[in-house]
Amino acid sequence: MSTRDLPANHADLMDGVYRWQRHIYDLTRKYYLLGRDRLIAGLDIPANGSVLELGCGTGRNLVLTAQRYPNARLYGLDISAEMLVTAQAAITREGIAGRTRLARADATDFDAQALFDVARFDRVFVSYSLSMIPGWEKTVAAGLAVLTPGGSLHVVDFGQQERLPGWFRSLLRTWLRKFHVTPRDSLREVLESESAKAGASLSFERLYRGYAWLAVARR
C-alpha cells in the first residue's frame, strides 16, 4: 500500500483514533452505527459484479457483503493503516482474500485504476465515513465518478436526528465529537447536487427518526 499523496495529518489522526479502538470497534459500533446491514441488503450486486467501499474500516461491511453476494469481487480503501491491518486479518480469516483487495488511500482523491487495476465498479458504498472525512463532498463526487453505467452509490451515515428529542441530539453530538465525527447537515443537498451532475437519480431515506440517513444514487 503506497502512502503517496495521503494528507499526513488526517492519516495520522485516524491512525491515532483507531490504533486501540480497532480491537473493540466491531463489538461497540454495532449498537450505534445503525443502517449498515440495510445498506448491504440493498446493494443488489449483479452476478460477478464489483463493489468498492470507501472508508472500509475493520472490513466488517466487506465481510458481510461477501457472505451475502458470494460471487462479488470486493474492494476497500481506507486512510488508516491501523484499520487496514484489522480488515486484512478479517478478510483472511473469512476466506475471502482471493476476491478481496484493500488499499490505503484518501477517499477524497484516489486513483482506482492504480490502486486496484480496476477503473469502474458496479456498486460503491460509504458507511459512516463521510462524517469523518474532511472535504467529504469530494468523496461523494469521486464515488459517483467510478461507477459503471447502471451502477449505484450507497451512503449511510448519521442524520440530523431531526425527529428525536433535542437532548438526545446534543448528547449524541457531544459523544461523536470525541471520535472526530461530525454528522453532515448538508449531506442530502450535496448528494442531490452531485447526483444531478453525474446524471444519477437519488433516493433518500430517513432511518430511526433521523438518527441515520440512507441514500442511493443510481446512474
Ligand X SMILES: C[S@@+](CC[C@H](N)C(=O)[O-])C[C@H]1O[C@@H](n2cnc3c(N)ncnc32)[C@H](O)[C@@H]1O
**Cα–Cα distance, 210 to 207 (Å, whole number):** 5
Closest CA to 99 of 77, 138, 66, 61: 66
**Cα–Cα distance, 193 to 202 (Å, whole number):** 10
Q: Is 161 in the site for ligand X (CB under 6 A)?
A: no
Residue 42 C-alpha from the chain's centroid? 14
Q: Is 106 in the site for ligand X (CB under 6 A)?
A: yes
CB of 146 to ligand X, least distance (A): 14
Judged by CB under 6 A, the stretch of 49-57, 91-99, 145-153, 200-208 that binds ligand X is: 49-57
Residue 195 C-alpha from the chain's centroid? 17
Q: Which residue's Cβ has the minimum distance to ligand X?
A: 57
**Cα–Cα distance, 76 to 101 (Å, whole number):** 6
Q: Is 155 in the site for ligand X (CB under 6 A)?
A: no
Q: Is 154 in the site for ligand X (CB under 6 A)?
A: no
Judged by CB under 6 A, the stretch of 92-100, 115-123, 124-132, 210-218 that binds ligand X is: 124-132
User: 186 by DSSP, 3-state: which?
Assistant: coil
CB of 29 to ligand X, least distance (A): 6
Count of residues for the chain?
219
Q: Is 152 in the site for ligand X (CB under 6 A)?
A: no
Site string for ligand X, 15-34 (x = CB under 6 A): ---x----------x---x-
Closest CA to 58 of 2, 108, 17: 17
Judged by CB under 6 A, the stretch of 57-65, 111-119, 146-154, 165-173 that binds ligand X is: 57-65
- Report DSSP state, residue 126: E
Nearer to ligand X, 56 or 124 (CB): 56
CB of 7 to ligand X, least distance (A): 7
Residue from 127, 152, 161, 195 binding ligand X (CB under 6 A): 127
- Please report where in the chains the cell 472490513 appears, as a residue: 59
Beta partners for residue 124, in sequence order: 52, 153
Q: Is 96 in the site for ligand X (CB under 6 A)?
A: no
Determine how β-strand 201-207 pairs with β-strand 50-54: unpaired
Q: Give the interface with ligand X as residue ranges (CB under 6 A).
A: 10, 14, 18, 29, 33, 36, 55-57, 60-61, 78-80, 83, 106-108, 127-129, 132-133
